[in-house]
């Protein structure tokens, strides 16, 4: 006896029953329902897959009018437009309309001479910044062998976000020394505005802020300069201070020096210019305007999604109240928050107004909202508007409209053997005066409908659990595509004044067929592989291919939509891959 013979002897397959199959199994949605009008209250789609005590609850909601978006904007203060368009505000998609802030407050600032450099028009300059010294220090030494003003170096500060520099009295401090008592010298400065291409735009002052006499020991000297207000012509320009040592008595081989960017020194001893009024606060303000309808509203939802190019901006959002004649400072029409500490973080803010929502439009439906962002900072920032929506709802217009996706298994129930399709709903509604309707997507008409259904009159609930079924009759093929996909819609009778609650226990579709259901049991110790099936009677003798596996001790219910059982007595034979045959006689 070989191995095959031994395994064949151990195989024991039985056909325990054969019955006509008139229905497929139920096919249920495998994803959440799409709610077109209304809202989900509790549960999820998995609670609608089996007829049991669990359910998904939905509520009718006021059908909304179309959302409205800004059709115009106004720049407030000295806010400037950067990029983007109003159409970018119609979807929350990370495409922005951007606006740049302006300096809304100034305060006395200190520009400290640093050793770091930048290049302007091919020439190297050192930086002066709003930060105190942060390095070990650099000594700038000039020769004292001849008299005259000796340039130690040029220091620049870019005027980005600066619209003007107000008048004030500057004090410039010099950390300086000379190498010999034989030298007489003092420190002074030139002040100018340099363009981004390297050319001088304006010379403000020459040989000013003269210090006292430089000594042979390191000391911090100072001089003052009366600055007149200057209006910045181009914010790519630089404020430049050129530090000089003026030698009035020379000595061969001797030097004089200026010490910069030395963090071992107290701030009071560092080389710097003080009392320069520079921006300490920036503000961005934009007013958006739009139109809407003049219906009777029961609520209004206004939303803004935006980001800021710096963190922790104090943001105020306001919706204009036409009854009060101004922008609210609290309550409805007012939102305030501090933006994310992380720059460029999108944040969505919205408010639902249910009390007098029509106060936030004028007689023709016109509306406007204002966005204001303020931050104490020395650098300008941008407001990036991503999405702005003005969305009212109409009074007494409650509806529910939802749809789900269902897929019939065509590998088991081929389209050629489907006779029709059924849809079944098990539900409970708390309003017995409102009908409910089942519809399906018609792939030919490219729309939802119920043409060809056995009933199109809807179903009236009892307020208890109800079953509502429809049969698609001979027109079912318009509602099932070639992949077995169906879209099923549940909706109410139309808008009414009550917000109905509906619980869905089960919603599914199934195919009606003229097939057969075969029950197999593997009583052997090995897995059986069924390869063919024979249906035989006195006039009928037909073979069907199989490719199914049944583990030891398992039973299997196997439906074939393409096999119709003959009338009268018949014999069914199932053949395994090892050549064994199970036989069943019915009729």
Nearest-angstrom CA–CA distance, 128 and 335: 40
- Residue where a domain stops, chosen among 351, 374, 397: 397
- Residue where a domain stops, chosen among 335, 368, 397: 397
Calculate the alpha carbon distances from 182 to 247, 248, 403 in Å: 11, 11, 96
What is residue 48's predicted lDDT score, i.e. its pLDDT? 98
The CATH number covering residue 51 comes to 2.60.120.260
- Does residue 396 surpass a pLDDT of 80? no
What is residue 3's predicted lDDT score, i.e. its pLDDT? 53
pLDDT band at residue 10, thresholds of 50, 70 and 90? Answer: confident
Q: Is the pTM of this model over 0.75?
A: no
Same domain, 149 and 225: yes
Same domain, 505 and 404: yes
Partnered with residue 301 across adjacent β-strands are 352, 391
C-beta of residue 55 within 8 angstroms of C-beta of residue 47:
yes
Provide the number of structural domains found in the chain. Answer: 4
Same domain, 415 and 338: no
* Residue 275 is assigned to a structural domain of this protein: no
What is residue 61's predicted lDDT score, i.e. its pLDDT? 86
The tokens describing 461, both together, are: 């609930």
Which pairs with CB-CB distance under 8 Å and at least 24 residues apart come from 481-486? 481/443, 482/415, 483/407, 483/410, 484/407, 484/408, 484/409, 484/410, 484/413, 484/415, 485/405, 485/406, 485/407, 486/405, 486/406, 486/407, 486/408, 486/421, 486/440, 486/441
* Residue 125 is assigned to a structural domain of this protein: no
pLDDT band at residue 298, thresholds of 50, 70 and 90? Answer: confident
Residue 492 neighbours by CB under 8 Å, 6+ apart: 60, 399, 400, 401, 434, 435, 436, 437, 500
The tokens describing 375, both together, are: 């931050």
The CATH number covering residue 222 comes to 2.60.40
Q: Which domain holds residue 208?
A: 133-269
- Does residue 7 surpass a pLDDT of 80? no
Partnered with residue 136 across adjacent β-strands are 262
**Nearest Cα to 488, choosing from 532, 437, 558, 431?**
437
- Residue 486: burial class (beta carbons within 10 Å; 0-12, 13-18, 19+): buried
Same domain, 138 and 264: yes
**Nearest Cα to 156, choosing from 200, 108, 95?**
200
What is residue 161's predicted lDDT score, i.e. its pLDDT? 86
Residue-wise pLDDT for 13-71, tens only, equals 999 999 999 999 999 999 999 999 999 999 999 999 999 989 999 999 876 567 999 99
* Residue 109 is assigned to a structural domain of this protein: no
Residue-wise pLDDT for 425-438, tens only, equals 999 999 999 999 99
Same domain, 219 and 245: yes
Q: Is 334 left (phi over 0), alpha (psi -120 to 50) or beta?
A: beta
pLDDT band at residue 296, thresholds of 50, 70 and 90? Answer: confident
Same domain, 181 and 235: yes
* Residue 118 is assigned to a structural domain of this protein: no
What is residue 297's predicted lDDT score, i.e. its pLDDT? 86
- Does residue 557 surpass a pLDDT of 70? yes
Same domain, 391 and 402: no
* Residue 163 is assigned to a structural domain of this protein: yes
Calculate the alpha carbon distances from 360 to 75, 256, 324, 335 in Å: 21, 71, 9, 14
Q: Average the pLDDT over each of 91-100, 277-286, 560-569 and give the range with the smallest value.
A: 560-569
- Residue where a domain stops, chosen among 496, 512, 528: 512
Same domain, 331 and 248: no
What average pLDDT does the segment 417-445 reach? 96
* Residue 408 is assigned to a structural domain of this protein: yes
What is residue 395's predicted lDDT score, i.e. its pLDDT? 63
The CATH number covering residue 573 comes to 2.60.40.1260
Partnered with residue 107 across adjacent β-strands are 278
> Of all residues in the chain, what percent carry a pLDDT higher than 70?
98
Same domain, 406 and 496: yes
What is residue 5's predicted lDDT score, i.e. its pLDDT? 55
* Residue 112 is assigned to a structural domain of this protein: no
Tell me the pairing of strands 148-158 and 123-129.
Answer: parallel
3-state secondary structure at position 46? helix
* Residue 122 is assigned to a structural domain of this protein: no
pLDDT band at residue 107, thresholds of 50, 70 and 90? Answer: very high
Same domain, 186 and 159: yes
Same domain, 264 and 389: no
Same domain, 185 and 236: yes
């Amino acid at each position: 006896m070989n191995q095959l013979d031994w395994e064949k002897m151990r195989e024991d397959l039985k056909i325990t029953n054969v019955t006509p199959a008139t229905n497929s199994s139920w096919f249920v949605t495998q994803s959440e329902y799409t709610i077109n009008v209304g809202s989900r209250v509790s549960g999820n789609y998995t609670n609608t897959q089996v007829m049991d005590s669990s359910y998904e609850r939905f509520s009718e909601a006021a059908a909304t009018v179309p959302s409205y978006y800004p059709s115009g904007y106004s720049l407030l203060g000295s806010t400037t437009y950067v990029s983007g368009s109003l159409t970018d505000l119609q979807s929350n998609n990370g495409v922005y309309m951007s606006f740049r802030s302006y300096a809304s407050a100034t305060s006395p600032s200190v520009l400290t001479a640093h050793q770091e450099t930048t290049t302007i028009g091919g020439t190297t300059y050192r930086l002066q910044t709003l930060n105190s010294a942060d390095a070990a220090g650099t000594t700038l030494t000039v020769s004292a062998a001849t008299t005259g003003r000796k340039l130690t170096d040029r220091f620049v500060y870019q005027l980005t976000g600066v619209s003007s520099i107000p008048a004030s009295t500057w004090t410039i401090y010099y950390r300086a020394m000379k190498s010999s008592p034989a030298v007489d010298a003092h420190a002074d400065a030139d002040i100018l505005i340099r363009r981004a291409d390297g050319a001088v735009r304006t010379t403000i002052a020459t040989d000013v802020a003269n210090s006292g006499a430089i000594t042979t020991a390191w000391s911090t000297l100072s001089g003052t300069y009366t600055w007149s207000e200057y209006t910045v012509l181009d914010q790519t320009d630089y404020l430049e201070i050129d530090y000089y040592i003026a030698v009035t008595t020379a000595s061969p081989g001797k030097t004089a020096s200026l010490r910069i960017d030395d963090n071992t020194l107290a701030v009071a001893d560092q080389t710097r210019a003080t009392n320069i009024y520079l921006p300490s606060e920036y503000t961005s303000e934009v007013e958006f305007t739009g139109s809407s309808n003049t219906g009777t509203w029961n609520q209004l939802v206004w939303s803004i999604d935006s980001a800021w190019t710096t963190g922790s901006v104090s943001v105020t959002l306001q919706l204009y109240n036409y009854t009060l004649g101004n922008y609210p400072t609290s309550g409805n029409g007012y939102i305030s928050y501090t933006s994310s500490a992380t720059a460029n973080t999108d944040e969505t803010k919205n408010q639902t107004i249910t009390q007098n929502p029509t106060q936030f439009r004028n007689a023709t439906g016109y509306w406007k909202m204002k966005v204001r962002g303020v931050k104490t900072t020395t650098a300008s920032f941008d407001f990036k508007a991503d999405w702005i929506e003005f969305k009212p709802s109409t009074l007494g217009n409650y509806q529910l409209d939802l749809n789900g996706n269902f897929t019939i298994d065509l590998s088991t129930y081929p389209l050629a053997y489907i006779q029709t399709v059924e849809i079944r709903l098990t539900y409970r509604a708390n309003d017995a005066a409102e009908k409910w309707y089942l519809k399906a997507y018609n792939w030919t008409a490219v729309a939802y409908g119920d043409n060809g259904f056995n009933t199109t009159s809807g179903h009236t609930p009892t307020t208890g659990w109800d079953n509502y079924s429809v049969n698609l009759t001979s027109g079912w093929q318009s509602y099932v595509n070639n992949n077995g996909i169906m879209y099923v819609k549940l909706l109410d009778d139309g808008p009414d004044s009550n917000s109905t609650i509906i619980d869905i226990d089960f919603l599914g579709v199934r195919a009606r067929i003229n097939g057969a259901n075969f029950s197999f049991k593997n009583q052997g110790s090995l897995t059986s592989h069924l390869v063919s099936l024979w249906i035989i009677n006195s006039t009928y003798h037909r073979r069907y291919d199989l490719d199914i596996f049944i583990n030891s001790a398992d039973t299997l219910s196997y439906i074939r939509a393409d096999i119709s059982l003959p009338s009268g007595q018949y014999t069914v034979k199932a053949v395994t891959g090892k050549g064994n045959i199970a036989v069943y006689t019915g009729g």
